Every structure is written in C-alpha cells, then in structure tokens.
C-alpha cells in the first residue's frame, strides 16, 4: 500500500504542476452545415458572422466563396467539385476574404485563378497575397492616358490607337480572329517593358493550349503569365478568374510598371455568373441575367487605369473580349461592355471570309482615348487615311448597284482597294512604328494606286526593306511632326523604290 500511495502522490503532483503551467484560453469557432448542394453552388446555415466573399471550407476540403448573404442561409459559390459534397457536411469559415498569390514568381507561369500551377512546375515561390476584389483607384490617383500601347498592327495603331491605361473592347462573332488580335498585341511587347497577362475564361483546352504554345514559341512567356479556367470548371472558378488575374496584374502596376491584361472572354464570364445567380434563386432580368450583371463588369474594368506619378505612374491596360451572335453588337452584354470601355475594335465576319485579316471593321471601331496617346507622326497619315477609307467603303457599297462610274469615282475605288490591301497583315508579324509610317505614307499619297492589286504585298516588302537599309532618318520617323522635311524626303525615297521595283519586276 505504501508503494501505491507514493505513486499516486507523484502522479497528482505532476498533474497539479501541469495544471499550473497550462494556459487555458478557450476559443469559440463558428461551424455551419450544408443544407443543399446544386451544380456549382451550396446553401449553408448556421454562419451568422460570415462576410461577403469570405473563403469557406466545406465538407472534406472543398473550398467556396460566400456570395449570397441571406437572413437564414448563405449562398456559396463552389471552387471545387460539387459532387464531393452532400447535405449535412460541415462548413467552416476562414475569417479572410478570398485572396491570390502575387509577385514576380508569376511571370512565365500558367496558373489557375487560385494561383495553383497548371504547367507542371513547382508551387509559386511567393508569400505575398492580394484579395481578388480590390477597390478601383480613386479619380485623384489617376493621370490622363498619353502614352501609346503599340500593337504592331497597322490598322489598329493608325486608325484605332490604344493608350496605356485604356480599356479597349475587342468584339465580333466566333472565329473572326479576336484572340489573334489580342495575341499579336501581346507579342508586340517583346522589346518593351510591359508585363502581359492572358486570362482564359471558359475556353476549350485545345484553344488555350494553342495560345500558350504561340506565346512560348515567340518568346513572350518571358514577360507574360497565363491564368486559365476551362469550360468544364465550376462556375465559381470561372466567375472569380478575371478578378484574380486583375489582382495579380495590379501588383505590378503598383510597382510603377506597365501591364496589359486580356480577358478572353467576358461573354462566358457573364454566363457563369448568370448560372450562379439562377441557382441561388436571384431574380432574373433581361436574357435571364441578374440585375447586377453591369456592375460585375464595370467594377472589374474600372480597376484598369494609369496612376499619377505621385502614386508610382504604373498603368493597367485592359483588352476585354466579347463574342457577338450574328453580328448583333446591340445585344445585352456587348452594349454593356461598349458603354463601360473607352472604345472597341469590331471584327467583321464578312471581312474575315474575304481574307482581309485582321478583319477589323474601321467604320464600327473607335478609340475614345488612344488618339491623345498616338505618336505625332501618325497624325500626319491617319486623318486623311480614315476619311478616304470611309468614303471608299460608302462608294464600294453604292457601286454594286451600277456599272457606269465616272473617272473620279473609279480612281477613289482603286485607291481604297489598295489601302485595304495594305492594311492586311499576317499573324505574328508585328511592324514597328517607323515601318508602319513608311507604308501608310505611301498609301495616303496614292503612290501605289497604279500597282497591280496582286503585287501590293511584294512592293510593300520591297519598300520596307529599302527604307530600313537606305533611308537615313528611318528611326526618327515616329517622332517627326507634320512640318518636318523628313516627309518630303520619304516621299522621294518611296517613289525611287517604286521605279526600281517596276524595272526589276518588268525584267523578271
């Protein structure tokens, strides 16, 4: 008995000593229950203190975002498979809003909207995060758009210029080259200092793979990263994708850098949000879209701007893409985005079928800001070119109704046809500002009106090669004002090239 008593005394002594050292601070944690699950959404009860857009963990690790805060329940947009959930599962709030990793480690990577790698590479080496929803910079932090975002495309840089910090919509029917135009603009930043972001929303895997392959093939991944959510992903992931990509891009903008972001495309983003809203039983509006469909895109695109020098001077240029049906640009989502953005590039299926690529319809395209950012030299050629080209389009439509045309009308038609031919450009072949100005100056002067239409491409290459090699002021051309003697010198140089080409062409 003495032995047992000694052991009990030791045990109680150790127990009391442990109690003295124990820091007992009980914590309460709110835990809810899933009451219903649908495709992409879940209803949760028992969470009274959850904030809007707070991250939740449901069931066995399925993440979701609080989207609908109702008196008796919470509508959760699922970021994982709804098949892994069932009624009665626990719902645990994280206490933080949904955030994504940001930093230099993103460049060159392919990630999902949560920052998880999709390129078989390691996890992102960064400990910095940003909420996916951030307030747009207030007006006093912004500066005017006055620096060009060169696209390398003659028709865009001349007639529909884009400035750094601008929001330029790209719209058109499916398979008209919308992604191709955005991709060419990204590739043209190769020699610059612009960080590019390509956000694929609801695209097919093959389409995204082609884009990533093109970016890698042309060396663009050295300054680009890709955010991908495919068409079979949960609607919640498709919904957060553009906001997450914008937060990643804003990190670089706040470092004082220039950023270009492409949203491909916001039609599918709107459809994903409509699906979430209908499943959460929100009242439908026009075309069954919820009443705040305009707001979800306006608050996204308002984050693109140019910051004032006092706040770093960084820029975020947005190129949202939207798909139209049967050339109907007055549909609900296209008109919403046209009213939000600072201009649009419209791609016509008619021009696409004729092989006039890029199929930009100049009459329906406009840039409301970029003209102020356009280099001075472009103004020498763009004004007359836009006017004569618009007149040509009207005359061409009118000329179809009759065959008897006077000499002046026939001359305008011949000139317009050659201008349109000169505005054609192959994919992945961007031109510098000086190269564009040489060709456009020749077109605006009518120096190529006598050249056979099927030879326009050949003489363009001949003139550019000669200008690069023999025109002494070639590099200075983009900075020349309208009264500079360089324009007369260039005119003489182009005429000389045309004469030389005519001789060599005749001899061949």
Helix (H, G, I), strand (E, B) or coil at 218: coil
d(CA 444, CA 392): 13
DSSP 237: H
* Of 66, 54, 320, nearest in space to 201 by CA: 320
Asked if 389 and 440 count as a contact pair (C-beta separation under 8 A), the reply is no
Q: Where are the alpha helices (DSSP H) in 173-222?
A: 178-187, 205-217
3-state SS, 49-95, equals CCCCCEEEEECCCEEEEEEEECCCCEEEEECCCHHHCCCCCEEEEEE
Token duo for residue 283? 């009242």
194 CB contacts (<8 Å, ≥6 apart)?
149, 223, 257, 258, 259, 260
Could you give the C-alpha distances from 47 to 33, 37, 43, 44, 300, in angstroms and in order? 8, 16, 11, 7, 28
Asked if 111 and 244 count as a contact pair (C-beta separation under 8 A), the reply is no
Question: Which of these is catalytic: 368, 372, 386, 468?
Answer: 368
* Of 180, 132, 177, 157, nearest in space to 300 by CA: 132
Token duo for residue 225? 């990263």
368 classed as catalytic: yes
Asked if 102 and 247 count as a contact pair (C-beta separation under 8 A), the reply is yes
Asked if 52 and 69 count as a contact pair (C-beta separation under 8 A), the reply is yes
d(CA 54, CA 371): 42
d(CA 63, CA 76): 9
Host H or E run for residue 465: helix 456-470
Beta bridge partners of 64: 56, 78
Helix (H, G, I), strand (E, B) or coil at 457: helix
Residues involved in catalysis: 368
């Amino acid at each position: 008995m003495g032995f047992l008593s000694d052991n009990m005394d030791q045990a109680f002594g150790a127990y009391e000593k442990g109690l003295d050292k124990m820091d007992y601070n009980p914590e309460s944690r709110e835990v809810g229950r899933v009451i219903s699950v649908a495709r992409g959404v879940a209803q949760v009860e028992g969470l009274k203190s959850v904030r809007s857009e707070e991250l939740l963990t449901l069931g066995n690790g399925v993440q979701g975002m609080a989207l609908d805060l109702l008196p008796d329940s919470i509508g959760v947009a699922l970021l994982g498979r709804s098949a892994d959930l069932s009624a009665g599962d626990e719902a645990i709030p994280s206490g933080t809003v949904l955030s994504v990793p940001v930093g230099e480690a993103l460049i060159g990577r392919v990630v999902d909207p949560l920052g998880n790698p999709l390129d078989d590479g390691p996890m992102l080496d960064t400990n910095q995060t940003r909420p996916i929803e951030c307030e747009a910079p207030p007006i006093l932090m912004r500066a005017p758009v006055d620096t060009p975002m060169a696209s390398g495309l003659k028709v865009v840089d001349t007639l529909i210029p884009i400035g750094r910090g601008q929001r330029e919509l790209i719209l058109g029917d499916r398979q008209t080259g919308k992604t191709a135009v955005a991709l060419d603009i990204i590739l043209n930043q190769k020699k610059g200092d612009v960080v590019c972001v390509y956000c694929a929303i609801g695209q097919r895997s093959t389409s995204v793979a082609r884009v990533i392959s093109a970016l890698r093939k042309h060396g663009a991944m050295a300054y680009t990263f890709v955010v991908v959510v495919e068409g079979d992903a949960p609607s919640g992931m498709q919904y957060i994708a553009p906001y997450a990509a914008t937060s990643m891009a804003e990190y670089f903008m706040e470092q004082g850098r220039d950023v270009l972001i492409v949203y491909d495309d916001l039609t599918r983003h709107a459809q994903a949000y409509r699906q979430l809203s209908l499943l959460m039983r929100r009242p439908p509006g026009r075309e069954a879209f919820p009443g705040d469909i305009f707001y979800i895109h306006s608050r996204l695109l308002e984050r693109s701007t140019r910051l004032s020098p006092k706040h770093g001077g960084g820029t975020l240029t947005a190129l949202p893409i939207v798909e139209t049906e049967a050339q109907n640009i007055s549909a609900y989502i296209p008109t919403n985005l046209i009213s939000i953005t600072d201009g649009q590039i419209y791609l016509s299926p008619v021009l696409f079928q004729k092989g006039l690529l890029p199929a930009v319809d100049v009459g329906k395209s406009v840039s409301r800001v970029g003209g102020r950012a356009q280099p001075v030299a472009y103004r020498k050629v763009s004004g007359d070119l836009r006017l004569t080209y618009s007149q040509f389009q009207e005359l061409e439509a009118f000329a179809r109704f009759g065959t008897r045309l006077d000499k002046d009308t026939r001359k305008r038609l011949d000139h317009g046809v050659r201008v349109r031919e000169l505005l054609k450009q192959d994919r992945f072949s961007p031109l510098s500002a000086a190269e564009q100005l040489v060709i456009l100056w020749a077109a605006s002067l009518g120096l190529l009106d006598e050249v056979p239409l099927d030879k326009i491409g050949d003489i363009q290459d001949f003139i550019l090669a000669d200008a690069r090699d023999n025109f002494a002021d070639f590099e200075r051309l983009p900075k020349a004002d309208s009264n500079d003697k360089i324009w007369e010198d260039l005119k003489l140089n182009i005429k000389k090239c045309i004469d030389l080409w005519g001789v060599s062409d005749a001899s061949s």
